[in-house]
Amino acid sequence: MAALPNQLAHEFHGHQDAIRAIRFTKSGEYCLTCSADKTVRLWNPHRGLGIKTYKGPGQEVLDATAAHDNGRIICGGRDKVVYLLDVSTGQPIRKYRGHYGAINCVKFNEESSVIITGSYDSTVRVWDCKSRTYDPIQVMEEAKDSITSLFVSNHEILTGSVDGKARRYDIRFGKLFSDTVGQPVTSVSLSRDGLCVLVSSLDNHIRLLDKENGELLNTFKGHSNTEYKIDSSLTHDDSHIVSGSEDGKIYFWDLVEGNVVQTLKQSQSSSCIVYSLSYHPNSACLLSAGSEGPVKVWKRQEDMKEDEDEDD
């Protein structure tokens, strides 16, 4: 069995309220956190060091992500504005307005030239960073309820909605594919090989679907998720599923067998909601954050020893 991160490597303290999202940068060298305290923070998770705090938004920040060159950050939240920030100065480069509800999720495309956002207003909006206009270049209005999650690949946009559907927009051919889960969807992501879609929903289930035909390949359960938007993901090698939970724990499942193989405690309190996770793109390293306590960095024991040797 592939080794999973099972040791606490670092903890970050700094946010004054619940952390809504945590995201590795493209390279996995840095990470971003955003919080109900209206800030976004940049960290080096491998050293446990805070680098910079960004204070642009006027209300709770629900999601943030970095451009692939780490030079810009986008974030959005309850004030319905998409902020494009300069990483070095912290100053807004642009502000995009158009959503009528809080912004739940933000993503860049592969080239970081386009921003994709999903909102409580049931729309997905696409913004061109290079355009002179501040209006969206595309608005996707197929969802019947709040957009909770986005995943963007080189030619596809995956969306999850409270209306119980996971949608896939194929940008190359202008086609829409839809899979009905039947329960509010809280997280969607694509496997590293691009063949499977992972869907979390508010019925304590995570489903693995065949991307092309929507066939249910496996179901993962054992965690608690009936009320809140909680992240799930595949590990860097597609061998396991990992998810937060509403009982203060992080759960790992074997992809093929579907059984729980490991749990980690985000908090000693069972009332802690583990909202957000981010798995390193190339190695066994996990970031986790929740409704209380610090951000946590999890690694394998042998990788922690390598980090110590590098420090020496």
Residues of the domain holding 241: 7-310
Q: For residue 278, give the 3-state DSSP assignment.
A: strand
Q: Give the residue from 155, 263, 140, 158 showing the smallest Cα distance to 200.
A: 158
- What is the number of alpha carbons within 13 Å of residue 310 lying toward its C-beta? 8
Please indicate, yes or no, if residue 137 is contained in any of the structural domains: yes
Contact 84, 128 (CB under 8 A): no
pTM, full prediction: 0.94
Q: Give the residue from 141, 189, 144 showing the smallest Cα distance to 163.
A: 144
Instruction: Tell me 271's DSSP state.
Output: T
Per-residue pLDDT of the chain (312 residues; tens, 9 = 90+): 568 999 999 998 888 888 999 999 999 999 999 999 999 999 999 998 999 999 878 899 999 999 999 999 999 999 999 999 999 999 999 999 999 999 999 999 999 999 999 999 999 999 999 888 889 999 999 999 999 999 999 889 999 999 999 999 998 888 999 999 999 999 999 999 999 999 999 999 999 999 999 999 999 999 999 999 999 999 999 999 999 999 999 999 999 999 999 999 998 888 899 999 999 999 999 999 989 889 999 999 888 766 655 554
Structurally, the chain folds into a number of domains equal to 1
> Residue 304 has what pLDDT?
78
* Residue 301 phi, psi dihedral angles, 5° rounding: -60, -40
Long-range contact pairs involving 127-130 (C-beta distance under 8 Å, separation at least 24) = 127/82, 127/96, 129/84, 129/94
> Residue 261 has what pLDDT?
97
Please indicate, yes or no, if residue 165 is contained in any of the structural domains: yes
Contact 153, 194 (CB under 8 A): yes
> Quick one: residue 74, left, alpha or beta (phi over 0 = left, psi -120 to 50 = alpha)?
beta
Distance CA 261, CA 255 (A): 10
> Residue 199 has what pLDDT?
98
Contact 114, 128 (CB under 8 A): yes
Please indicate, yes or no, if residue 2 is contained in any of the structural domains: no
Strand arrangement, sheet containing 61-66: 61-66, 72-77, 81-86, 92-97
Identity of the amino acid at 73: I
> Residue 14 has what pLDDT?
86
Which domain CATH number covers 34?
Answer: 2.130.10.10
> Residue 269 has what pLDDT?
86
Alpha-carbon distances of 221 from 9, 211, 254, rounded to whole Å: 27, 21, 11
Please indicate, yes or no, if residue 52 is contained in any of the structural domains: yes
Please indicate, yes or no, if residue 1 is contained in any of the structural domains: no
Please indicate, yes or no, if residue 298 is contained in any of the structural domains: yes
Please indicate, yes or no, if residue 15 is contained in any of the structural domains: yes
> Residue 231 has what pLDDT?
97
> Residue 310 has what pLDDT?
58
> Residue 15 has what pLDDT?
87
Contact 262, 6 (CB under 8 A): yes
DSSP string, 211-232: TTT--EEEEE-SS--SSS---E
Distance CA 270, CA 131 (A): 47
* Residue 305 phi, psi dihedral angles, 5° rounding: -65, -40
Which residues neighbour 255 within 8 Å (Cβ) at sequence distance 6 or greater?
Answer: 208, 218, 234, 238, 239, 240, 241
